[in-house]
Homo-oligomer: A and B are copies of this chain.
Amino acid sequence: MIGVTYAKGFRAAGVVAGQRTGDGPDLALVVNVGAHPSAAAVFTANRFAAAPVLWSRNVMASGATPTVAVLNSGGANACTGIDGMAQTAATAQQAAEVIGRQSGQVLVCSTGLIGKLLNLDPLLAGVRSAAATMSADGGADAARAIMTTDTYPKTVELDLAGWRVGGMAKGAGMIAPGLATLLVVVTTDALTDNATAQRALAQAAEATFNRIDVDGCMSTNDTLILLASGESGVRVTQDDLAKAVTEACHNLSQQCIGDAEGASHEIAITVEGATSEDAALTVARAIARSNLFKCAVFGNDPNWGRILSAAGTVPPEAAPFEADEVDVSINGVMVCKGGGVGEPREGVVMAGQRRVDVRVDLHAGVADATIYTNDLTYDYVKENAEYSS
């Protein structure tokens, strides 16, 4: 039992539902069958939120406790107007009907090309088929069904003191702060309530998915869901829940970075010596978004000048520091000291290293933060020139 069915009280399935051009599975269903369910969700901040995001936001706002999540790949159902909303509603209604719930308890997620309606009939048939085949062993199938350009399904399983957390994620493309991956479902058999779950999930998202940034692009469909079944019988504190969900989300977000489109390096950018965590994050994000720096990493070039020039675009009020006090280390070698030349760049080993560690010390305070990103490669360009999303 892996992924979303690792914790007790969940059924899942992954089936073919006619949305993809190939024949892989493209519809996942996750059902919380616990007697004491609770739920939480976080959505994209994009102003062109997709129909399923608008729907699912309404579900959460209604105060209901959703116990079902339907997720499809092969189409984002974004920028599809009222017809797109009708498709999402029909999907939720179909799931509610065959599972025996209210449609207001069904969260819907979609991923794929923007601006195209889904193929509704095969989608609804897929929902029926998923409901018929879902099982306590369906986590792996569900994780596979939500993949788009992912090269492998991403799941997580954690054992806590008498309770469990599981999860799945897809997201190798439009990953950015705001919310960092397209679709994530985390499940737990802990006993909790909606308000506690929401606070724990928000905290986890901020510390994990909001700190990975593959290409600075925020999706119209990003959705992160937490479902709790209560089936372990263990009532958890908000802190314990937040800690476990953060660990699960960290694991999944690192898998997303590891499988980012076309990447040859994973880059951890830690900014330390900042006046505040926000200041550290702002500088780290500016570096993570420099195409020049990311190309240099692809070329195994420890180009600290591109790191400084990216950091230098942050306004002083957003991150106070003095240019001539900044140190930069790449893979442990302090190539820049006091804003100038440090150790010889020849000492930095990057070729053959999947992981690149960049540390920038602003020497302005004691706060730090890390953003995770990737290099910019031929393959990133290729995938995104040839694959429509």
Residues of A at the B interface (CB closer than 8 Å) are 45-49, 76, 78-81, 84, 113-117, 173-174, 176, 178, 215-220, 289-292, 295-296, 298-299, 301, 303-306, 308-314, 316, 323-324, 335-336, 338-341, 376-378, 380-386, 388-389
Contacts and interface: CB of A to CB of B under 8 A. Distances in A.
Nearest to A295: B384
A301 to B, nearest CB: 6
Contacts of A298: 381, 385
A309 B215 contact: no
B47 A311 contact: yes
Residue among A113, A178, A291 having the largest count of chain B Cβ atoms under 10 Å: A291
B291 A384 contact: yes
Instruction: Determine chain A's interface SS by DSSP, over half rule.
Output: loop
Given A178-B313, A305-B114, A81 B299 contact: no
Contact of A220 (B46, B216, B308, B336): B308
Contact of A340 (B115, B173, B289): B115
Given A218-B312, A220-B309, A291-B380, 7 more contacts: A47-B323, A79-B304, A80-B340, A81-B339, A217-B313, A295-B383, A376-B384
B47 A299 contact: no
Contacts of A295: 380-381, 383-385
A78 B307 CA distance: 12
Given A80-B340, A377-B381, A388-B303, A323 B48 contact: yes
Contacts of A312: 46-49, 218, 220
Given A311-B47, A385-B301, A81 B338 contact: yes
13 contacts: A78-B308, A79-B340, A173-B292, A176-B313, A217-B310, A220-B309, A292-B384, A295-B383, A298-B385, A301-B388, A306-B389, A377-B381, A380-B381
A284 B322 CA distance: 32
B76 A305 contact: yes
Contacts of A116: 341
A305 B389 contact: yes
Nearest to A322: B47
A299 to B, nearest CB: 3
A338 B217 CA distance: 22
A243 to B, nearest CB: 30
Contact of A309 (B48, B314, B336): B48
